[in-house]
């Protein structure tokens, strides 16, 4: 895997995800909610794209369209798959979506089982990810007896276990405490840098977006459209120490000044 020019080379890479004129409207008539778009976007193969935007601007909606859970109202999304992984796309949902009726290990195994990996291979793979996410010893517990942060880690392990070509993460670290959050950010950086997986990463934290992303996509208030798409210049392999640098803080400030107005619009519904 290349390192220093990791992000600089993005423009040359073939697009993995191509979003064209995508719009999504929930409901019809009076009750219609225009949640997203129109938006155009191209995500490179192996790119880590961070997505930020005010609450309710359609970030989750965008990931659900890519995941194939919501059909676009207008426009289309092309996803180029090599067909090399157990499941092509895996999602870590904002509200976890782990199954209360399955134990931790069964949850992590789920994506494998339903995609034809069974028996000891599935168990070994799942056990490895359980270990990696610090859930060892809880394999046979049910999610109801875990803390929110642990449940979220089960959800992350379940997605990573299928070694997807595209990983969709919707505020995966939102419910974690600051220390664990930083630990998992580091882990995710290492994972991404070693396996070159394409990642769409939704977050509320600009800092997190900058630490992790090759680029940061900033969306407007609902309906979410492209407000800004910034290259993140920090070299890889990266550690979360980049946040100490002056450049980092300048970028964060710049993004925040863009986003601030949008958050205001999102809350008050008025553009003044």
Partner 1 sequence: MNTATATTVTRRNRLPLETRPQRLRRRRRLEATLGIAVPVVLIGLWEVAARLGWINAQFFPAPSSSVIRGVEMIIEGRLLADIGITAYRVLVGYVLGTIIGFAAGVGMGMSPLLRKALEPMLSALYTVPKIAILPIFLTIFGFSDAPIIAIVTVTVFFYIWIYTMEAVVAIPNGYLDAAKSFGVKGWAMFRHVVFPASLPSVAVGLRVGVGVALLITISSEFIVGGSGVGYLIFNARALFRLEEAYAGIVTAALIGVILQGTITWLGHRVTPWVVSRESRAAGL
Ligand X SMILES: Nc1ncnc2c1ncn2[C@@H]1O[C@H](COP(=O)(O)OP(=O)(O)OP(=O)(O)O)[C@@H](O)[C@H]1O
Binding site for partner 1 (CB under 8 A): 64, 67-69, 87, 89-91, 93, 95-102, 110-111, 113-115, 142-145, 162, 168
Nearer to ligand X, 43 or 112 (CB): 43
User: For residues 92 and 191, is the Cβ–Cβ distance under 8 A?
Assistant: no
Give whichever of 26 and 99 is closer to ligand X, judged by the CB atom.
26
Q: Check residue 60 for interaction with Mg ion (CB under 5 A).
A: yes
26 sits near ligand X (criterion: CB under 6 A): yes
* Cis-peptide into 237, omega within 30 deg: yes
Q: How far is the CB of 123 from ligand X (least distance, A)?
A: 34
Could you say which of 39, 57, 168, 251 contacts ligand X (CB under 6 A)? 57
Helices then strands (H, E): number in the chain? Answer: 7, 9
Q: Of 88-117, which residues contact Mg ion (CB under 5 A)?
A: 94
Which structure tokens are listed for 254? 């710049």
Q: Tell me the residue nearest to Mg ion as measured from the CB.
A: 60
Give residue for tokens 């090399």: 84
Work out whether 59 is an interface residue with ligand X (CB under 6 A): yes
Q: Which stretch binds Mg ion (CB under 5 A): 60-68, 95-103, 122-130, 205-213?
A: 60-68
Based on the number of CB atoms within 10 Å of its own CB, is 203 exposed (0-12), middle (13-18) or buried (19 or more)? buried
User: Which value, to the nearest 10 degrees, does the dihedral of the CA atoms of residues 104, 106, 109, 114 take?
Assistant: -140
Q: How far is the CB of 202 from Mg ion (least distance, A)?
A: 6
How far apart, in Å, are the Cα atoms of 250 and each of 234, 244, 253, 257? 13, 11, 5, 11
Binding residues vs ligand X (CB under 6 A): 26-27, 33, 35, 53, 55-61, 94, 222
Binding residues vs Mg ion (CB under 5 A): 60, 94
């Amino acid at each position: 895997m290349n390192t220093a020019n990791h992000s600089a080379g993005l423009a040359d890479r073939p697009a993995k995800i191509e979003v064209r004129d995508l719009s999504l409207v929930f409901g019809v008539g009076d009750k219609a909610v225009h949640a997203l778009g129109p938006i155009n976007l191209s995500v490179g193969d192996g790119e880590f794209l961070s997505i930020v935007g005010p609450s309710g601007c359609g970030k989750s909606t965008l990931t659900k369209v890519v995941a194939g859970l919501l059909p676009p109202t207008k426009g289309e999304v092309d996803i180029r798959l090599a067909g090399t992984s157990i499941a092509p796309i895996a999602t870590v949902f904002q509200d976890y979506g782990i199954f209360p009726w399955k134990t931790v290990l069964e949850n992590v195994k789920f994506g494998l089982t339903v995609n034809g990996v069974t028996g000891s291979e599935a168990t070994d793979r799942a056990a490895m990810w359980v270990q990696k996410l610090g859930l060892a010893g809880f394999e046979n517990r049910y999610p109801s007896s875990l803390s929110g942060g642990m449940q979220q880690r089960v959800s992350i392990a379940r997605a990573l276990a299928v070694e997807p070509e595209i990983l969709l993460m919707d505020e995966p670290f939102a419910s974690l405490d600051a220390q664990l959050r930083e630990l998992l950010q580091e882990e995710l950086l290492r994972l991404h840098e070693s396996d070159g997986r394409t990642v769409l990463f939704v977050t509320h934290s600009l800092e997190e977006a900058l630490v992790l992303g090759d680029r940061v996509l900033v969306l407007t208030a609902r309906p979410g459209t492209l407000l800004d798409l910034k290259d993140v210049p920090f070299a890889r392999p990266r550690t979360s120490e980049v946040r100490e640098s002056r450049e980092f803080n300048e970028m964060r400030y710049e993004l925040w000044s863009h986003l601030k107005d949008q958050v205001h619009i999102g809350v008050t519904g008025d553009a003044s």
